[in-house]
Structure 1
Amino acid sequence: MAYWIKIDYERSKYLIDLDRITAFSCQSNKRLTFWLPNSSQLIILNKQSCEYEYQLVLEYIKDKIEINYLPNSEFWVQIMYDRHEWFINLNCISTFAFEPNGRITFWLPDSTKDIIISPNIDPEAYKKVVEFITKVTGYSLP
């Protein structure tokens, strides 16, 4: 089921299905960033200029992270990386790279952004990513 919102952004009006967004980034300065599906078009919302839309997207993220039941096509995880709070649907990730030091790297669809997660930096999110990889791929990481 689609979750459509309307956003006025940079002199254009966008109708966006939030269910198609694969990752969101939240910064401490109240900026919310995401990429439009099937493109590298970046949308940046902030609380001052787009308060209503900002709040809608924040509530959507909160519901996705906190809900107990998610469809099989979604596996959302919250990750702290590069001074941002990321909310990522791991089911949209198609490549994971594991390094000898334990770091895992993956690339966000619809952008050129890579995410590097370490067991020392964010152990809870790291555990969720490893469990997801094992469950979905059938391969376990050392």
Structure 2
Amino acid sequence: MSYWIKVNYDHREYVIDLDRLSTFTHGPNGKITFWLPDSTIPILVSRQNDPDGYQRVVNYIQKLSARSPNGFWITFNYERHDYILDLNKISSFCHYPNQRLTFWLPDSSMPIIISEQKYPDIYHKIIDYIEQKTGYILT
């Protein structure tokens, strides 16, 4: 199924299938960022630069869990941004002995580093996901 929208960004119009996206971020400035599929190009939408596109993205995010039964969407706060991420689209995780977990956002080169001490809830949720999906136990 596809969920196509049109957004205006950087003096260009983009037509994007939101069902192909894997990550959304929402910062303290109110902007929503996502990366175009199969590229590292970030798109930022806000109420000011594209009110209609912004509202369509917000509506999509609110319906994610209902529309994506095959996804494993999680929401967490990291470095003052709220992230909405489909763990099924993460292709690698790196676990350190000091209870730190790193993964890279799909379609972006940005690493996310989660420590058990700083982010215990999301750390354990991801560790459980890895065990459930791969059978590997990270200690």
Smaller-chain TM-score range? over 0.9
Q: Distance in 2 between matches of 1:106 and 1:78?
A: 15
Residue among 69, 77, 86 paired with 1:71: 69
- In percent, how many aligned pairs have the same letter? 44
| CA apart distance, 1:12 | 1.7
Give secondary structure in 1 for the equivalent of 2:113: strand
| CA apart distance, 1:124 | 2.2
Aligned twin of 1:99: 96
User: Does residue 26 of the first structure (1) align with residue 23 of the second (2)?
Assistant: no
Q: How many residues align?
A: 139
- Ranges in structure 1 where 5+ consecutive residues have no aligned partner: none
RMSD: 1.4
User: Does residue 127 of the first structure (1) align with residue 124 of the second (2)?
Assistant: yes
Aligned twin of 2:135: 138
Q: How do 1:41-80 residues align onto structure 2 when only pairs under 5 Å count?
A: 41-65=41-65, 67=66, 70-72=68-70, 74-80=71-77
Q: Distance in 2 between matches of 1:17 and 1:70?
A: 14
- Ranges in structure 2 where 5+ consecutive residues have no aligned partner: none
Q: Contact 2:9 / 2:49 at 8 angstroms: preserved in 1?
A: no
| CA apart distance, 1:3 | 0.7
Q: Distance in 1 between matches of 2:25 and 2:95?
A: 23
| CA apart distance, 1:53 | 1.1
Q: Distance in 1 between matches of 2:76 and 2:112?
A: 9
